């Protein structure tokens, strides 16, 4: 019965990129009894259709192929937050595959051992997300090196001196 529901309602189609039980896969074949999916490691997995009907399935490409990229960037507290945001926006704006609408966003999202910024942008084809994300990482690394901004924030280390008094050091 599950196979008929899949074939009639079409919640997944051949070629869809889905997530089942935390694993991201591509639908290769749907039959009445089971669905064949291919992992990104190129392994073929057969899933009973009952699991696809009763379980949670995230379908990245059901409605469209758009995909979102999130990139976290951490800097030291000595970095100029406004300059970091401007540089990140520039890196994203220069990539030809990042959509202009909806506009990419860059935000300072966290204080902790570092200033944490997040970049959010939309790409037209989810299948290209990994390559575009890699391009953006390389552009960010190159841009920050040119601007003298360190992406590996210093870690505070507390040392206990001989007299039992704390001493601070930068690692």
pLDDT digits (tens, 9 = 90+) for 138-156: 999 999 999 999 997 656 5
What domains are there in the chain, each with its CATH number? 2-59 (2.30.30.60), 67-147 (3.30.70.100)
pLDDT tens-digit profile of 107-120?
999 998 899 999 99
Q: In this predicted structure, what is the pLDDT of residue 110?
A: 94
Q: How many Cα atoms are found within 13 Å in the side-chain-facing hemisphere of 171?
A: 7
> Does the predicted TM-score (pTM) go above 0.75?
no
Write out pLDDT tens, residues 28-78: 988 888 889 888 788 888 888 888 878 788 887 767 778 889 999 999 999
Average pLDDT over residues 15-33: 84
Going by C-alpha positions, the residue among 146, 69, 149, 70 that lies closest to residue 109 is 70
Instruction: Report how far residue 134's alpha carbon sits from residue 114's, in angstroms, rounded to the nearest whole number.
Output: 22
């Amino acid at each position: 019965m599950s196979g008929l529901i899949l074939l009639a309602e079409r919640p997944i189609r051949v070629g869809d990129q889905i997530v089942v039980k935390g694993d991201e896969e591509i639908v290769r074949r749907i039959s009445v009894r089971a669905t064949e999916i291919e992992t990104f490691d190129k392994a073929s997995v057969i899933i009973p259709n009952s699991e696809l009907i009763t379980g949670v399935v995230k379908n990245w490409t059901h409605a469209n192929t758009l995909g979102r990229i999130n990139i976290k960037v951490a800097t030291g507290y000595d970095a100029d937050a406004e300059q970091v945001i401007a540089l990140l926006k520039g890196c994203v704006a220069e990539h030809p595959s990042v959509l202009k609408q909806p506009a990419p966003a860059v935000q300072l999202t966290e204080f902790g051992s570092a200033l944490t910024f997040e970049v959010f942008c939309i790409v037209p084809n989810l299948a290209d997300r990994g390559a575009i994300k890699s391009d953006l990482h390389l552009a960010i690394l190159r841009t920050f090196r040119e601007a003298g901004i360190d992406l590996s924030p210093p870690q505070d280390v507390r040392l206990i001196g001989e007299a039992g008094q704390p001493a601070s050091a930068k690692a």
